[in-house]
Amino acid sequence: MASRSPDAILVADDVSVDSTSGKNELNFAMVATVAVAFTTLLLAAIWGPSVSNGLNETQTQESFKGDQIYFTWNEPEYMPRHDECIDANNGQDAGYEGYGIGYEPSLSIDSEGNLFVTAHKDLRWGGEGNPFAPVIGGDLDTWYACEDGEMTSWDYWASWFWISNDNGETWGHGDNFEPTPGTLVNSAIGSATGSGSECLGDEGDIAVDANDVVYYLDTTLEDNWWHLFEDGGNTYASPSVCERMNTMAADDRPWVAAQGDGIIHYLGNSGASPPECSGDVGRYWYYHSETGRAPFSQCYAMPGGWSTISSQNNGPYVFVAQEDADSATGVVQVRISDEYGRGTGPSPSEGTWQSPVEVGPREGNCPEGYPVVNNNEGGMVVVTWADCPNGNTGAWEMRIAVSYDNGTSWESWNTTAFDRGINMYPFVSISEDQMVSVAFYGLDFDQKNSDDGYVAGKDWYLYAGALHHPMEGDEWDFRIVDPTPLHTVTEYEESSGDTHALHDFFETVISPDGSWVGIAYQENVGLHPFEENEEQRYIKFVRGDMSTKHSIVADSEGSSMMMPMFGVNELILATRT
């Protein structure tokens, strides 16, 4: 496991060298003495436990098996709200009013490095009441978007859709996604006559085909809307707003992949067999289009548990990773089509999908943990998943499976980040030169020199690591990416065993030239104004540029996760928390 960096303690910030002072020799003697002590503590810290995994890159590279890749991480960015929708009285914590509230972000990138993020909207924050109060609680009322006098965090009716055309330095909203103030009535009218932002949505996913057409699917739970963009998200390319998918399955978490010229793969999580598709049985259903829009093939089930999908951008391969069943234990399996997923409709048919291939074990039943699959154009496929053989709040494990021949053969091994802790929702991205980055939400039980487990006061962080051409047995040197804790375990979560504060997933990308990594993720800030035991949830983005060492930007208090250094005018001692 990676070592823990010491905290920095400033001993003096006014130590100066004055050649005319009689104290000069004494000062230098003190410097030498403290330097020896500092060196001793530093060497001890290398083998000690760590809250940040952020020091002495040369030493740790030598101690980890595999070709490690490190990054210099920039200042994280919060996703913005439209200026006209910012409301200091809507319940957001002071200083956060300009940021969009959401969770479970999806992130995609095109061949020019343009970035696209969507996120689940906070349905409880469309005003103080809601139209489903008899079912979910609260006061009965309509929802609102960007409405004066209403405590809403919604800028528009669709799910969030942000774009960046400068490699993640600044963020805005996509074309045709302007503010749409009003009630649900406004949304109903606007979905037929207005803009894309008026199509009521809950959560979505994004994919980009080989022509850099952006396909944004936004689910209404009952069906889905499609939004198409070109020119890095600056041109709304749908022939009409709110294009209905017209599939038969009610959906929860949608997954989208795209390839070639308008080939779309949609994997829907219906949770049950749609009545119209009674000839087949399953939780996940695969839909296929080669026109860039509806109609889609129908009624092809992919039986199994939690699942995700990916595809080559130019080549013919499509991959689905999934739990083999909704069961406590079992295996992770991969379904493969080498012909663009063709032949699956309109009636139940295996088409070009091969029989599932087992790639690794599941020894526990993690809460809503998706096995994530990704691939590149050169035949590399990687699947990663969290496992919890010791229960929800016991020590978790993390596994990875790698193929270099489009899924024909696999290597699979344990790549757990902590001796004791939780590595939740790992996500994998792959470059064309076989750099594999893995990021996850992590909680190290050993932080703060503790020997307990999942207890109140422990901090969740965003972790990431990367290897070039990983082989079985290689180890990722996982490090903290953002020095700000994403969430701190509450007493309620400790007593109830609730580990779901950061929700179901987040996503990463690698730049087209393979020189940087981008991560869209969630941070919890302050208490939720309408939900008990919940917090405000914000979407952030951080970019890491490939470097010879790991480094991150200091947080607002100036504390950094890097090893502290000292100059002539200051002395720093190191202690472990």
Q: Other CB atoms closer than 10 Å to residue 32's CB: what's the count?
A: 10
In terms of DSSP bridges, do strands 139-140 and 129-130 run parallel, antiparallel, or are they unpaired? parallel
What six digits make up the tokens of 147?
Answer: 């409405």
**pLDDT for 211:** 98
Q: Please name the fold of domain 57-561.
A: Methylamine Dehydrogenase; Chain H (2.130.10)
Would you list the domain boundaries of the chain? Answer: 1-55+565-577, 57-561
3-state secondary structure of 153: coil
Q: How far apart are CA 569 and CA 12, in angstroms?
A: 8
Looking at residue 126, the DSSP 8-state letter turns out to be: B
Report the helix count and the strand count for the chain, using DSSP H and E: 5, 38
Three-class HEC string of 327-395: CCCEEEEEEEECCCCCCCCCCCCCCCECCCEEEEEECCCCCCCCCEEEECCCCCEEEEEEECCCCCCCC
Contact call for residues 507 and 120 (beta carbons, < 8 A): no
Contact call for residues 6 and 570 (beta carbons, < 8 A): no
Tens of each residue's pLDDT in the chain, 577 residues: 333 333 332 323 333 333 333 334 434 343 443 343 433 333 333 333 333 443 334 445 668 999 999 999 999 999 999 999 999 999 999 999 999 999 999 999 999 999 999 999 999 999 999 898 888 788 899 999 999 999 999 999 999 999 999 999 999 999 999 999 999 998 989 888 889 999 999 899 999 999 999 999 999 878 899 999 999 999 999 999 999 998 866 778 889 999 999 999 999 888 777 777 767 777 888 999 999 999 998 888 888 999 999 999 999 999 999 999 989 999 999 999 999 999 876 555 688 999 999 999 999 988 878 999 999 999 999 999 999 999 999 999 999 999 999 999 999 999 999 999 999 999 999 999 999 999 999 999 999 899 999 999 999 999 999 999 999 999 999 999 999 999 999 999 999 999 999 999 999 999 999 999 999 999 999 999 988 899 999 999 999 999 999 999 875 444 444 333 323 332 222 222 2
Compute φ and ψ for 33, nearest 5 degrees.
-60, -45
**pLDDT for 299:** 81
Contact call for residues 125 and 154 (beta carbons, < 8 A): yes
**pLDDT for 134:** 84
Strand boundaries in 62-174, DSSP class E: 67-73, 77-78, 102-109, 115-121, 129-130, 139-140, 144-145, 160-164, 172-173
3-state secondary structure of 144: strand
Compute φ and ψ for 274, nearest 5 degrees.
-60, 140
CA distances from 182 to 172, 174, 194, 232 (A): 21, 20, 13, 29
Q: How far apart are CA 457 and CA 494, in angstroms?
A: 9
**pLDDT for 25:** 40
- pTM for the whole thing? 0.87
**pLDDT for 290:** 95
**pLDDT for 62:** 65
Contact call for residues 359 and 472 (beta carbons, < 8 A): no
Alpha-helical (H) ranges within 48-183 are 57-63, 133-136
**pLDDT for 145:** 97
